[in-house]
Amino acid sequence: MTLKLEGKTAIVTGGSGGLGSSFSLALAAAGANVGVAFIGNPAPAKALVAQIQALGVKSIALEADITDPAAVKAMFNQADTELGIVDILVNNAGIDGVRARAWEVDAAKWRKTLEVNLFGAFHCAQEALLRMVVRRSGVVINITSVHEVIPWGGYSAYTASKAGLGMLTKTLAQEAAEFGVRVLALAPGAIQTPINQSVWSDPNGLADLNKKIPMGRMGQPDEIAKILVNLASDDSSYLTGTTVFVDGGMTLYSDFSHGG
Ligand code: BGC
């Protein structure tokens, strides 16, 4: 049996993090070679690379600060020679940022969230698309959030970055379509990872969060990763320029479930 992503090369930014490690493993299980991009401590990325190699595909850890275009260029060049030319880019690296009202937040911290979530994704998309359009094949998947469309008090930088990434997705998709390249956004809801641990580890926080989700529970990373593999594969060959929300219904205004 041929696997869905046999022979493809994927790069996942934030590739050893909460959602990222599930993405990297699922892509590898579907047959792709995976570049695990990371910043900071190399240990989790190296451990994941070993786990991925055990599945019988190629994998390397790629260290890069995605807010720096020169570092991103160097990372893609390294992947070209050590892994293969990228077919699938997963722009997953992201930070929630500090919680503070817009008129109280430190502007440098606000800017940092935009630099990682939006500029970082842009720099990586630019390098990936340069390679994909000449080969007339490839997929860029930007991981946005339900906060692409749901405002979130205290997180104006995060919501602005994710809404921006949603529109960047559409525009890149429009530009790349004639070259046979697809660009998509995948928008998770509340998925149980370290990013929101302070909420789900507190019973009151978890109960409040669950009330915002029609399905009444948080999602698990593999519930997003399965969709990601599908979006990256030819099963989604006619899908581009749109956001796929995988959120247990979080974007459905659950307060309107009854009455109104
Ligand atoms: C954020 C999480 C949050 C979820 C739902 C995600 O984009 O990263 O911290 O739990 O949205 O609000």
If you average pLDDT over residues 80-91, what whole number do you get? 98
pLDDT band at 160 (very low <50, low <70, confident <90, very high): very high
| pLDDT confidence of residue 175 | 98
Is 195 near ligand 1, meaning CB less than 6 Å away? yes
Euclidean distance between CA atoms 167 and 157, whole angstroms: 15
122-149 burial, b for 16+ CB within 10 Å, e for fewer?
bbbbebbbebbbeeeebbbbbbbbbbbb
| pLDDT confidence of residue 260 | 83
Mutate to test the pocket of ligand 1, among 99, 191, 220 (most ligand atoms within 8 A of CB): 191
Residue 73 domain flag: yes
Give Dmax (Cα) for the chain: 59
pLDDT digits (tens, 9 = 90+) for 100-126: 999 999 999 999 999 999 999 999 999
Would the pLDDT of 256 be above 90? no
Q: Which residue has the least CA distance to atom 10 on ligand 1?
A: 190
253 catalytically annotated = no
Residue 82 domain flag: yes
CA 145 to centroid of ligand 1, rounded, Å:
7
Would the pLDDT of 176 be above 80? yes
Euclidean distance between CA atoms 147 and 87, whole angstroms: 27
If you average pLDDT over residues 204-224, what whole number do you get? 97
Euclidean distance between CA atoms 186 and 144, whole angstroms: 6
pLDDT digits (tens, 9 = 90+) for 36-66: 999 999 999 999 999 999 999 999 999 999 9
| pLDDT confidence of residue 214 | 96
Would the pLDDT of 259 be above 90? no
**Sign of torsion, CA 15 16 21 27?**
positive
Backbone angles phi and psi of 218, in degrees to 5: -75, 160
Above pLDDT 90, what percent of the chain?
A: 97
Q: Which residue has the least CA distance to atom 5 on ligand 1?
A: 190
Task: Tell me how far the alpha carbon of residue 238 is from its chain's centroid.
Answer: 20
Instruction: For residue 37, give the H/E element and its range.
Output: strand 33-38
Nearest ligand 1 atom, CA 144: 7
Residue 1 domain flag: no
Is 196 near ligand 1, meaning CB less than 6 Å away? yes
If you average pLDDT over residues 220-244, what whole number do you get? 98
| pLDDT confidence of residue 41 | 96
Residue 260 domain flag: no
Residue 214 domain flag: yes
Is 146 near ligand 1, meaning CB less than 6 Å away? yes
Q: What is the full DSSP assignment across 191-240?
A: B-SGGGHHHHTSHHHHHHHHHTSTTSS-B-HHHHHHHHHHHHSGGGTT--
| pLDDT confidence of residue 2 | 85
Q: Which ranges of the chain would DSSP assign to H, the alpha helix?
A: 18-29, 43-53, 69-82, 107-114, 121-135, 156-176, 197-200, 203-211, 221-232
Q: What is the mean pLDDT of the chain?
A: 97
Euclidean distance between CA atoms 242 and 121, whole angstroms: 16
What CATH number should be reported for the domain holding residue 88?
Answer: 3.40.50.720
The count of domains in the chain is 1
> Residue 216 class from Cβ within 10 Å (0-12 exposed, 13-18 middle, 19+ buried)?
exposed
Beta-sheet pairing, 243-246 with 88-91? unpaired
Task: Tell me how far the alpha carbon of residue 18 is from its chain's centroid.
Answer: 11
Residue 252 domain flag: no
Closest CA to 98 of 112, 88, 86, 85: 112
Would the pLDDT of 25 be above 90? yes
Per the structure, the complete domain to which residue 216 belongs is given by 9-246
Residue 207 domain flag: yes
Residue 256 domain flag: no
CA 249 to centroid of ligand 1, rounded, Å:
14
| pLDDT confidence of residue 255 | 87
